[in-house]
Homo-oligomer: A and B are copies of this chain.
């Protein structure tokens, strides 16, 4: 069966700073019609900073969730930036390190049911200290965790942020492979 849906109409609802919202009318594979609410997003990068058996993470209040979350450093891709530039910039801005070694892990749609947002996740090792330089509306606490603690928290399902779980799972699997 051809699973694709054809757009028959598309209506812009909101144009924002981080997201746009549009409503598409589609023709389904069975010839019927349906609507799809779509949140447009420019894409993001996230980085697992791993150095001397420690993972460096950030604590950040997330208005959408009304919670302070523990996450790996991440951020939106800026206009004209390539993915690696973006990952290096976010790492330096959020925790004040440059990576001597940056390895791509995966590219994931965060929630393909309603948004085209992708996140490219990297592993950063051999970190060189520079200077933290957060955006003016960004307030974060830096936290460091031993890899053994990360493994235990993962097994218990204690991490709450998807990109963070993915990045740390790749790191844990990598270390197990040796």
Contacts and interface: CB of A to CB of B under 8 A. Distances in A.
Interface in A52-101: 59-69, 71, 74, 76
Question: Copy number of this protein in the oligomer?
Answer: 2
Given A37-B19, A39-B64, A111 B114 contact: no
A163 B162 contact: yes
A165 interface: yes
**Interface size range of chain A in the complex:** 35 or more
A37 B65 contact: no
A137 interface: yes
B59 A109 contact: no
B24 A111 contact: no
Given A3-B68, A18-B37, A157-B106, A62 B112 contact: yes
